Structure 1
Amino acid sequence: MHILETDHLYLREYQKNDFSSLHAIFSDAETMKYYPAPFTVEKTKNWIETNQNRYMQDGFGLWAVCLKDTDEVIGDCGLTKQLVEGNNEVEIGYHINKKYWGKGYATEAATCCRELAFNQIGCKQLICIINPQNKQSIRVAEKLGFTFHKEAIVFNQLHSIYALTK
C-alpha cells in the first residue's frame, strides 16, 4: 500500500524484503558520514523493526522510498517523534542511496511528508535534526522551507535544529 506518491516516487511501509536495499544504504560509510558509524546488520534490522512499531504506535514513521518506474527501494523518508531538550517534536528524516544523490528525490519525498504532517496529521511545527556539517541535508531542509532554529544536543551529539511552522 502506498502511503504517499509523487511524480517519480512512492513511499510505503517497510517490508521484510527491504533489508538488502536499506542495509546497502545504512552500511555505506559515505552515506552515514554524519552518524556515529555505519549500521551493522543488526542495527539495520532494528531500524526496520523500530519503524514498523512506529506505524502501529504513532500512525507514521520512516517509509521506504521507491522509484515508480522500477519499484526499487532507493532510501527512506518520513516522520518520527523526537525528544529535543524535553520537548516532543515531529521530525522529517530522509536517507537516499548515494547513487541517486543530486536528483531531487530527498526533497520530493520530504515535501509530501511535510504536507501529510501539516494537512492530515495536524502538526503545527516540524523539525529536522541535522549534523551542522551535513550541507546536503541542510540544503534539502531549506528547500522545504525550514530555517535554522537552534543548536541542541540530540543523540549525544551537537546538532542543528531546523524548524518549520505551519
Structure 2
Amino acid sequence: MIVIETSRLLLRHYTHEDLHSLYTIFSDPETMTYYPAPFSMQQTQNWIQRNIDRYEHDGFGLWAACLKDSKEFIGDCGLIKQQVNGSTEIEIGYHISKKHWSKGYASEAARACKEYGFGQLGLKKLISIIVPKNMASIRVAEKIGFIKEQEVFIFNKTHYIYSGSKAKD
C-alpha cells in the first residue's frame, strides 16, 4: 500500500518480501555506523514485522522507500513513536542505501513524512533523534526545517533531538 508519493519516491508499507533488500542495507557496516552493530537477517526480519505491527497499532511506522520510476527499494523513511525523557514523541526516521546517498532522497522522504505528520495525522510536533557525529542526518533535519532542541542520553548514548512544530494556521 502506497502511503506517500513524492516527485521521485514512493513510500509504501513494508512486506515480508522486502527482507533481502532491507538486509542488504542493514547488514552494511558503513550504513549502520551509528547503530551498535549491523543487523542480522533475523533482526532485519524483526524490524519489518515491528513496522507492520506499527501500521496496525499506531496508524504509521517506517515505510519502504522506493524509486518512483523503477520501483527499486532504496531504504525506508517514516514516523515512529519514541520515548524521550518520559514523553512519547513522534520521530521521523530514515535509512537510505549507501549507493543512493547524496542524491537528496533522505531529505525528500523526510520532508514528505513531515508534511504527512502535520497534515494527515494532525501532529503538532515531530523530532529526529540523531547521533552527534552523524552530520548527514543533521543536514537532513536542518533541510526540512528542524532545529536542535536538546541533547539527551537515549539508546545507551548521547543523541541530539532535532524538532519541528506545525506552523500555526
Same fold (TM over 0.5): yes
Q: Deviations over 1:39-95 (max 9, x none)?
A: 011110110000000000000000000001111110000000000010110000000
Shift of 1:139: 0.3
Aligned residues: 166
1:19-30 matched pairs, under 5 angstroms:
19-30=19-30
Name the residue aligned to 2:123: 123
Uncovered stretches (5+) of structure 2, i.e. residues with no partner: none
Q: State the SS of the aligned residue for 2:18.
A: helix
Q: State the SS of the aligned residue for 2:126.
A: strand
Q: State the SS of the aligned residue for 1:128.
A: strand
Uncovered stretches (5+) of structure 1, i.e. residues with no partner: none
Provide the identity percentage: 58
> What CA distance in whole angstroms lies between the structure 1 residues aligned with 2:72 and 2:101?
15
Name the residue aligned to 2:10: 10
Q: Is the Cα contact below 8 Å between 2:81 and 2:88 reproduced in 1?
A: yes
Shift of 1:133: 0.2
Aligned Cα root-mean-square deviation (Å): 0.6
1:114-153 matched pairs, under 5 angstroms:
114-153=114-153
Counterpart amino acid of 1:143?
Answer: K
Shift of 1:156: 1.4
TM-score by length of 2: 0.97
Name the residue aligned to 2:96: 96
Shift of 1:113: 0.5
Counterpart amino acid of 1:21?
Answer: S
> What CA distance in whole angstroms lies between the structure 2 residues aligned with 1:163 and 1:6?
22
> What CA distance in whole angstroms lies between the structure 1 residues aligned with 2:151 and 2:100?
29
> What CA distance in whole angstroms lies between the structure 1 residues aligned with 2:45 and 2:154?
22
